[in-house]
Amino acid sequence: MGRLVRASGFERFLISASALLLSVLIGAVIVLGAGRMTSCETAAYTLAFPGAFVTQFVGGDALFAMGFCYDPIALYDLLFLGALGDILNDPTNGQFATTIAETTILLFTGVAVAVAFRAGIFNIGAQGQLVMGALVTGVVLVYVAPPLAGLGVFAAVILLPLGLLLGAFAGGVYGAVPGALKAYADANEVITTIMLNFVATSIALFFVSREQFFKDPESFANQTVSLPDVAMFPELVFRARDDVSLLALAFGIAVLVGVWYLLRHTSFGYDLRTSGLQPDAAEYGGVDADRTIVSSMTLSGALAGIGGAVYVMMVLGNFQPGVPSYGFDGITVSILAGNNPLGVGFAALLFGILKSGSIVVQVGSDVPPALVGVLRGLIILFVAMPEFFRMAGRKFGSFHQPGEQPVATDGGTGGGVDE
């Protein structure tokens, strides 16, 4: 574990890559095992010795052969490459569009969780903050958008930023609540944010399922009235029905860079990182711990809330309860990225690929969805765990060997944190 804590960037990349490979190998074994336990007409995959490659020249049958109902190679091919679709011939194909859409929303929740993490706060509530952001954006835009619809492009110029602001505001307020509870009432943020997730879902359902509030009276489903097209992110190069927008993706990437800049180059970011790393040192340096907790939770909530706004304005076109678990996936994305805002981009892409790839697998093979879920989970678990232990090791461990002190190896009183 000490080695893990001290691993360099390249080593970390190697670790992640080999973890990915290992998870695929183990997943393949599971797929084969599951394939033996099911019954099917013809084997999708056959292990034989000597293999077909030899027997086709030599003639005769394999000495040993075993059939499996699922083909692990084809499955992983679908999972990873399926997410890209036929990208060479049709760069805007539906599969790839789904990948991009999923990635876009995870950028926001991932960076939301990362900001809180860097401040030393475990924000499990990104889901609730995202729901609140989505709800407020969807509900308010329904009233604001129609009168402006005639303005065309100008309406979009007003409505898109407004929608994002609404999402940020709602999510920010909803994140500030557990922040204030932690700062001024000493309430553990893990507990409060988890509870507030349920509260958010219930609030959303309450308002969207009653016609006297915001339910679309024309619809049987619990949902709000659809937004006019001018209030939606323009799809740009993608097809309209794929619910994806390069503009939203670009905005997401800009937000990542902005958050990175905020953390690295501003006094507020300095306060936030110091609080997260060493609360006592932050206090010594004049950082108001309570205020930093509230403001970083507000920021985190606002980022998740923007994710909700994007979800409404890019994917749904209205608000529907039963929001997918983007907020929870954001936690894993953040851990995968080592809580680095720029790393969130890559982690979210991996998640996007897996999400869209599993849809392809479900459609393109008879492998049950539950098994695909297992494979996805394995990959995420394997790739995230080294980074997770690294974080834990940095926080709690004592892995600074004397070798870390190249010149002044000689302690004085208490050299290094721990030896």
For residue 300, the minimal CB distance to other proteins (Å) is 19
**How many Å from the N-terminal Cα to the C-terminal Cα in the chain?**
14
For residue 253, the minimal CB distance to other proteins (Å) is 21
For residue 397, the minimal CB distance to other proteins (Å) is 12
Residue corresponding to tokens 């998640």: 351
* Structural tokens at position 259: 């958050």
Residue corresponding to tokens 């040993």: 64
Cβ closer to other proteins: 279 or 324?
279
DSSP 229: G
For residue 159, the minimal CB distance to other proteins (Å) is 30
Cβ closer to other proteins: 116 or 287?
287
Cβ closer to other proteins: 150 or 285?
285
CA 86 to each of CA 58, 83, 137, 246: distance values in angstroms, whole numbers, following the listed order: 37, 9, 34, 18
For residue 3, the minimal CB distance to other proteins (Å) is 15
CA distance 100 to 235: 12
For residue 124, the minimal CB distance to other proteins (Å) is 24
DSSP 278: -
Map residue 374 onto helix, strand or coil.
helix
For residue 341, the minimal CB distance to other proteins (Å) is 17
The residues that touch other proteins, with contacts defined as CB under 8 A, are: 265-268, 270-271, 274, 277-278, 280-288, 394, 398, 400-419
Q: CB-side exposure of 51: number of CA atoms within 13 Å?
A: 4
369-372 long-range Cβ contacts below 8 angstroms, 24+ apart: 371/30, 371/31, 371/34, 371/70, 372/79
Q: Which helix (H) or strand (E) holds 67?
A: strand 64-68
Spatial CA neighbour of 305 closest among 144, 145, 170, 154: 170
Cβ closer to other proteins: 36 or 265?
265
Please give the angle made by the CA atoms of 269, 272 and 275, to the nearest 5 degrees: 150
Contact 156, 230 (CB under 8 A): yes
Cβ closer to other proteins: 60 or 286?
286
For residue 117, the minimal CB distance to other proteins (Å) is 14
CA distance 418 to 121: 24
Please give the angle made by the CA atoms of 42, 46 and 48, to the nearest 5 degrees: 140
For residue 401, the minimal CB distance to other proteins (Å) is 8
Contact 247, 233 (CB under 8 A): yes
Cβ closer to other proteins: 198 or 284?
284
Residues 6 or more apart in contact with residue 346 via CB below 8 angstroms: 337
Cβ closer to other proteins: 210 or 265?
265
CA distance 308 to 290: 27
Cβ closer to other proteins: 67 or 279?
279
* Structural tokens at position 400: 């600074």
Cβ closer to other proteins: 42 or 413?
413
For residue 405, the minimal CB distance to other proteins (Å) is 6
Cβ closer to other proteins: 78 or 282?
282
